[in-house]
Structure formats: C-alpha cells, structure tokens
C-alpha cells in the first residue's frame, strides 16, 4: 500500500540508482519529519487541509487575477499578514510568529535556526 504518492514517488537516479522524491530529500536534509497520510482521507491531515481552504477563500474564491504573478503576490502578502498580524484563538491570541518565537525561546534545542528566516516578510 502506498500513501501520499505525490511526495514519495521514487525517481530513477541514473548511475546512482534509485533516489527519493525531492520533497523527502529536502525534509531529511533539514531534519524535518515527513509524515504521510492515506490518499483520499483528507481528515487525517485536517490542519493542512483547513489552511489550504482558508488561503483559497482569501484569494482565488474572492478575487479574479489577470496573471499567476498577481496571484502569487496576493498570496505572499496575505501570508505575511496572517503570520505577523492575525491573532489566533488557538494560539492564545498570539500571531503565528509570536507563538513560534516563544516556542524557540523556551525550547531552543528543537530549532536548527531562527524561525523568521523561513517566514515571508521583511527578511526575505
């Protein structure tokens, strides 16, 4: 049985033999645990599915775009506002950035680098 095949398919690596999918390799290189879910069972990946729905509702279901670059720009701007300005009830009314930064200060050993280096914003 194969789960989440779009992120685990294996590519023929030529003289190196079989190599894993690039997504899995990037996760491994960055010390990220890559968990798979069963295909056609979105409820097992509820948080990610809900976030995708939220982004769609804020962008493509509410606006018309004349180009893919216009959509990308809007998604980028929306993510910056969401991560740095929107206070979430689930995070005790902190922004996503504030919650991650607080976790980094209390448990620095679980972070390889400062979280803001991978968040959209003024540093990117």
Q: pLDDT tens for residues 98-109? A: 998 899 889 988
CA distances from 61 to 52, 70, 114 (A): 12, 14, 34
The residue with greater pLDDT, 1 or 99, is 99
User: What pLDDT does residue 117 have?
Assistant: 61
The reported pLDDT for the residue numbered 51 is 87
Q: pTM for the complete prediction?
A: 0.59
Residue 70's pLDDT band (boundaries 50, 70, 90)? very high
């Amino acid at each position: 049985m194969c789960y989440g095949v779009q992120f685990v398919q294996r590519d023929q690596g030529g003289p190196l033999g079989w190599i894993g999918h690039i997504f899995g390799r990037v996760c491994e290189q960055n010390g990220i645990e890559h968990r798979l879910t069963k295909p056609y069972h979105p409820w097992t990946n509820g948080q990610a599915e809900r976030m995708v729905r939220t982004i769609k509702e804020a962008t493509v279901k509410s606006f018309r775009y004349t180009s893919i670059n216009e959509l990308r720009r809007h998604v980028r701007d929306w993510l910056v506002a969401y991560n740095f300005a929107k206070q979430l009830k689930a995070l005790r009314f902190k922004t996503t950035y504030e919650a991650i930064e607080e976790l980094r200060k209390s448990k620095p050993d679980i972070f390889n680098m400062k979280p803001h280096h991978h968040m959209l914003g003024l540093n990117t």
